[in-house]
């Protein structure tokens, strides 16, 4: 992203503690877009995994994956969001797991129930995520 983005990391790290949930969510999204240059924000993002707002937790999990490939922290948060009462949150979590791909295999079991979700967009996102997780896994060469 460049020097300007990297210089914004301290402010974005601080914004993860803002009282406004929308600002916390957007800060996590911005850190995700910055990627590896936002590595100094990892501790604050790990803390954001316990945010009261599920959208912030999901965006923090995605940011951790993008910045530092931290699956061990991201997957439980995303799997839990798949059971959220709100369809948009379930869909966001399914898309996030699909974006992670094969490393999200451990969360595939949590995606399967969404294949029969009442919301068609959630069903489609879950199916696409499972395909991305399994397709890439199946394409990996086996042992020799």
> Residue 64: is its pLDDT beyond 80?
yes
Q: Are residues 95 and 128 in the same domain?
A: yes
Alpha helices in the chain (DSSP H): 3-15, 21-34, 42-48, 54-68, 71-81, 87-100, 108-111, 120-139
Nearest to 119, CA basis, from 89, 143, 140? 89
pLDDT, one tens digit per residue, over 22-38 is 999 999 999 999 999 99
CA distance 37 to 51: 23
- Which of 69, 98, 118 finishes a domain? 69
Q: Are residues 63 and 5 in the same domain?
A: yes
Q: Are residues 140 and 94 in the same domain?
A: yes
79 occurs within a structural domain: no
pLDDT value for 143: 46
Q: Is 118 helix (H, G, I), strand (E, B) or coil?
A: coil
Domain that holds residue 122: 85-144
pLDDT value for 144: 42
pLDDT value for 10: 96
CA distance 97 to 52: 21
pLDDT grade for 2, boundaries at 50, 70 and 90: low
């Amino acid at each position: 992203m460049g020097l300007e983005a990297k210089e914004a990391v301290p402010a974005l790290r601080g914004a993860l503690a803002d009282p406004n949930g929308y600002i916390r969510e957007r800060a996590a999204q911005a850190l995700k877009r910055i990627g590896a240059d936002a590595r100094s924000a990892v501790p604050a993002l790990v803390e954001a995994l316990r945010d009261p707002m599920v959208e912030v937790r999901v965006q923090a999990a995605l940011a951790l994956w993008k910045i530092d490939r931290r699956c061990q922290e991201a997957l439980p948060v995303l799997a839990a969001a798949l059971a959220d009462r709100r369809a948009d949150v379930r869909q966001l979590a399914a898309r996030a797991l699909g974006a992670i791909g094969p490393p999200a295999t451990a969360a595939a079991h949590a995606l399967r129930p969404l294949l029969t979700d009442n919301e068609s967009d959630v069903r489609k996102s879950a199916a696409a995520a499972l395909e991305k997780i399994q397709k890439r896994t199946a394409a990996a060469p086996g042992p020799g």
